[in-house]
């Protein structure tokens, strides 16, 4: 699917890149110098660093699903309220696998330029997530 709008880019980001783990979408969605700021104290610059970040997250929660609850679009920005869920099957940062089902809320903020995502900020409910990883 060729994205037609910024909203299409965000839908592909969640549905194809994350939920189906199709990393080839990194090329379609992102500017070469994409910046990512995650609530797990992760900052990346560029497509390869983002791909490495994805690998770390999916090692810990291989079935991580991003559910979009609300999307607000304003010019070259989109804000998303999301719910994340999956099973903690691998080491995630300093947390050894627990086998726990995890579910937590978050919000993501996307910035666009020339039909590509150039910046993403993610804010997640880490207090709730950490309780489930112990």
Tell me 95's DSSP state. Answer: B
pLDDT digits (tens, 9 = 90+) for 12-30: 999 999 999 999 999 999 9
- DSSP, collapsed to helix, strand or coil, labels residue 120 as strand
Please report the pLDDT score of residue 57 as a whole number. 93
- Domains defined for the chain, CATH in brackets: 6-132 (3.10.450.50)
Cβ burial 83-104 (10 Å sphere, 16+ → b, else e):
ebebbbbeebeebeeeebebeb
pLDDT digits (tens, 9 = 90+) for 72-127: 999 999 999 999 999 999 998 888 999 999 999 999 999 999 999 999 999 999 89
Sign of CA dihedral 126, 55, 4, 68: negative
């Amino acid at each position: 699917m060729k994205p037609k709008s910024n909203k299409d880019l965000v839908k592909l980001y969640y549905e194809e890149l994350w939920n189906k783990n199709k990393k080839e979408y990194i090329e379609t969605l992102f500017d070469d110098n994409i910046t990512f700021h995650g609530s797990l104290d992760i900052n990346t610059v560029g497509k390869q660093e983002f791909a490495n970040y994805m690998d770390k997250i999916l090692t810990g929660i291989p079935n991580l699903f991003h559910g979009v609850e609300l999307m607000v679009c304003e010019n070259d920005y989109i804000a998303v309220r999301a719910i994340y869920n999956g099973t903690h099957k691998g080491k995630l940062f300093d947390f050894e696998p627990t086998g726990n089902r995890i579910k937590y809320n978050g919000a993501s903020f996307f910035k666009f330029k020339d039909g590509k995502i150039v910046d993403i900020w993610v804010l997640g409910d880490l207090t709730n997530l950490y309780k489930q990883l112990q």
